[in-house]
């Protein structure tokens, strides 16, 4: 890829810019990639947006139904074993 200061683009009348293909390929930024635009003292920084926003436990607490007794680790291990055997037809 060419050096960053040698790559030029133009702002359209709609305020859009086209990132040079070399930059998009190096970053694996396909069409539809969401980017965070951050102003810095040196200019503008583009970063890939995370797939999911950061959440706190208090933000999602209570979203799951609580009408059943909590399962123990032993219960979960047994259920996983039953399903694995079912999928692989083994005893």
CATH classification of 4-48, choosing from 3.40.309.10, 2.10.260.10, 3.30.2020.30, 2.40.50.150?
2.10.260.10
Q: How far apart are CA 49 and CA 45, in angstroms?
A: 12
Q: Name the 3-class secondary structure at 83.
A: helix
Q: Name the 3-class secondary structure at 86.
A: helix
pLDDT tens string 70-90: 889 999 999 999 999 988 876
Q: Are 75 and 61 in contact (CB under 8 A)?
A: no
pLDDT tens string 3-38: 545 788 999 999 999 999 999 999 999 999 999 999
Q: What is the pTM of this model?
A: 0.52
CB atoms within 10 A of CB 73: 7
DSSP assigned state of 5: G
Q: How far apart are CA 71 and CA 62, in angstroms?
A: 16
């Amino acid at each position: 890829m060419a050096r960053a200061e040698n790559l030029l683009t133009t702002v359209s009348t709609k305020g859009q810019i086209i990132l040079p293909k070399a930059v998009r390929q190096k970053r694996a930024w396909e069409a539809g990639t969401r980017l965070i635009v951050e102003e810095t003292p040196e200019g503008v920084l583009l970063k890939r947006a995370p797939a999911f926003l950061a959440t706190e436990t208090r933000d999602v607490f209570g979203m799951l139904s609580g009408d059943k007794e909590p399962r123990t680790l032993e219960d979960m291990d047994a259920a996983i074993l039953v399903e694995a055997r079912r999928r692989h037809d083994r005893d």
